[in-house]
């Protein structure tokens, strides 16, 4: 969800105003995806690299996060959404973690779309954590190294039990994946818009979905196996 700061600067506003406006886009996209009955929506809210930002901006970002988790709780329940997060808890305040956990617990029996917030998340760190967990299990004799395969790794990622993404949407014209779900998006379709996140609305979402629907997803194979060369 990129471009909050740039959107604000282009209007002579402080960066935090871009983040506040971005929350409106979050609400719009979550509601529409739930209405369309998507299986899962993952939002990259705060990366492990974002701690490099100025202290005042970090403080306001954390305040917005806490406010969102609390204020949207009733709406999450009304829309039958399952709420979860991925990422490390290091650095996040106990009060934020408590509010996040309350929303997770409250919505755990819902059966609708899973809404996953990536908080203090970095894909390389996720892979490191997965390798450490697997190494400990090997050391304990619970896993034979010869049996380790892709499923073993997937089962020890933060996203264990979740499906791999079909579509990655990148706002603000950024042509990179920014350490986001590197393992999981191996065969995801990418769609980039020049619009900054604070202006992202239903029309942008539909455009992304229409583009996705027109793609020929071959997963390394051929569209028509009969065209395979002899």
On the 0-12 / 13-18 / 19+ scale of CB atoms within 10 A, 28 is middle
| Residue 50 annotated to the active site | yes
Note if 2 is an active site residue. Answer: yes
Q: What is the dihedral of CA 48, 30, 84, 119, to 10 degrees?
A: 10
The catalytic residue among 50, 110, 179, 211 is 50
Answer yes or no: are the C-beta atoms of 134 and 153 closer than 8 Å.
Answer: yes
- Identify the helix (H) or strand (E) that includes residue 85: strand 82-86
CA distance 121 to 125: 8
Tokens representing residue 179 in the block: 């350490």
**What is the number of other CB atoms lying within 10 angstroms of the CB of residue 157?**
19
The residue count of the chain comes to 230
Cβ burial 120-149 (10 Å sphere, 16+ → b, else e): bbbbebbbeebeeebeeeeeeeebeeeeee
Active-site residue set: 2, 50
């Amino acid at each position: 969800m990129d471009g909050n700061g740039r959107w604000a600067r282009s209007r002579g506003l402080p960066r935090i105003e871009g983040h506040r406006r971005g929350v409106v886009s979050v609400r719009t996209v979550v509601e529409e995806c739930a209405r369309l009955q998507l299986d899962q929506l993952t939002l990259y809210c705060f990366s492990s690299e974002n701690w490099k930002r100025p202290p005042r901006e970090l403080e306001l970002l954390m305040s917005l996060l806490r406010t969102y988790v609390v204020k949207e709780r009733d709406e999450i329940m009304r829309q039958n959404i399952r709420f979860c997060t991925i990422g490390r808890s290091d650095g996040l305040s106990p009060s934020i973690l408590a509010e996040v956990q309350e929303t997770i617990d409250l919505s755990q029996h819902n059966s609708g779309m899973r809404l996953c917030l990536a908080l203090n998340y970095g894909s390389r760190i996720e892979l490191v954590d997965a390798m450490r967990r697997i190494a400990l299990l090997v050391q304990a004799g619970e896993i034979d190294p010869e049996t380790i395969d892709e499923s073993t790794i997937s089962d020890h990622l933060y996203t264990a039990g979740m499906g791999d993404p079909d579509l990655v949407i990148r706002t603000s014209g950024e042509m990179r994946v920014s350490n986001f779900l590197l393992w999981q998006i191996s065969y995801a379709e990418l769609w980039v818009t020049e619009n900054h996140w604070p202006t992202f609305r239903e029309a942008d979402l539909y455009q992304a979905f229409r583009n996705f629907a027109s793609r020929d997803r071959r997963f390394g194979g051929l569209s028509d196996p009969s065209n395979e060369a002899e």
